[in-house]
Structure 1
């Protein structure tokens, strides 16, 4: 694991306490990155005893409603902490959970920062190749995106913003409150697609987790890829 910067280590301690205060326990592991244009926060082992009971009884919808309600109460404080200790203001805050891995991702665009693929990609990798392959993955579950922008956050996370991507079926899913079904379909299709493997081949890294957030009002979505540690 890459060594945390002092400010990231300080903010990690503050945010872990926030989770303990609201959830009753904090994650066992938190990785934060503050490098523009995105803030990212990956959490591991956040499942509370109450959530574990709901999960074991397949009450997934109730579990997510409870968790999302608690997180929404944390977000204003998270924003205040980032502004107070790092001088960072977020334009938006997105989040998604991987209950099977007991993990989650929180991310947001830093206010005033522009999203440009070319500025954040390592020089030995082609963002154009990656984005072209991602086009092929997405078209299996949604319409072909009008535009894709990809940015690295630290050394393990790639955030892909998809513009003009939601199909009419996808929009109906979101309108009816079936975001989780749409997310699961996207993740399953992406994971089974041969093109998904070509993403890993191009990166020379495996994709350990994928997090998804759809925005019906702006007809866009975010895919967040967590990669394995670089060798």
Structure 2
């Protein structure tokens, strides 16, 4: 397997080229974090000319729907590409977008067990306090998760996994074919409630971006927090 640094570079180049081929424009910069079994790809400067026109016409939901459809088709390619790069067996792929910032996040979860011992939190950060605030946000948006797991990937990215978060009405909407509409409605709500709790206070750091995506079939969500660099 290639060295980790090479894998980071290869993954970033591959994702950039893939998006350029399918969207007509790639991101201006890509930041890859890799801590088994998680790979996160933070995209910046990613907005096509057509999308700019749609946003000027106040059609952000149309942009999000198109991106979600394209990404759904790209998941098999992403899985195959990451296998070719480093025999990385990808189980799931998630994606979310911040159109205002022209940014996005792709999360790939490998088909491996999580080794909690590899995710060490800084001594000055209270992991339990952060988790409590995250649960508070979930309660404000829907209900307390069945489980909440948080991973400090590196000094710039925190990844949270929550399970059993859907309420009965959401499950019915999904069952009746309104999953995409629900996803688009939940994104701004999730960001709103996450901003209302004291996550930054527990971290003693500013959160500059938040990305969230769901797997409705398995009632699971991943949230990625991008932290402001330490001064």
* Shorter-chain TM-score range: 0.7 to 0.9
- Shift of residue 74 of structure 1? 2.8
Q: Is the 8 A contact 1:121 1:127 kept in 2?
A: no
Identify the residue that residue 189 of structure 2 maps to in structure 1. 185
Provide Cα deviations, 1:182-226, integer angstroms capped at 9, x if missing partner: 2211211221x2x2xx32122121111111112333222222211
Q: Is the 8 A contact 1:142 1:170 kept in 2?
A: no
Identify the residue that residue 113 of structure 2 maps to in structure 1. 113
Q: Measured at CA, do residues 115 and 127 of structure 1 come closer, stay the same or move farther in structure 2, by a change above 3 Å?
A: farther
Q: Measured at CA, do residues 61 and 172 of structure 1 come closer, stay the same or move farther in structure 2, by a change above 3 Å?
A: farther
Q: Is the 8 A contact 2:64 2:184 kept in 1?
A: no
Between the aligned partners of 2:186 and 2:128, the Cα distance in structure 1 is 26
Larger displacement relative to structure 2 (163-172 or 181-190): 163-172
Q: Measured at CA, do residues 220 and 15 of structure 1 come closer, stay the same or move farther in structure 2, by a change above 3 Å?
A: closer
Partner of 1:92, secondary structure, is strand
Between the aligned partners of 2:62 and 2:135, the Cα distance in structure 1 is 33
Identify the residue that residue 24 of structure 2 maps to in structure 1. 24
Q: Measured at CA, do residues 134 and 44 of structure 1 come closer, stay the same or move farther in structure 2, by a change above 3 Å?
A: same
Structure 1 vs Structure 2 CA RMSD = 2.0
Partner of 1:166, secondary structure, is coil
Between the aligned partners of 2:168 and 2:105, the Cα distance in structure 1 is 27
Between the aligned partners of 2:172 and 2:230, the Cα distance in structure 1 is 39
Equivalent pairs, count: 223
How does the TM-score come out when normalised to structure 2? 0.87
User: Which sections of structure 1, spanning at least 5 residues, go unmatched?
Assistant: none
User: Which sections of structure 2, spanning at least 5 residues, go unmatched?
Assistant: none
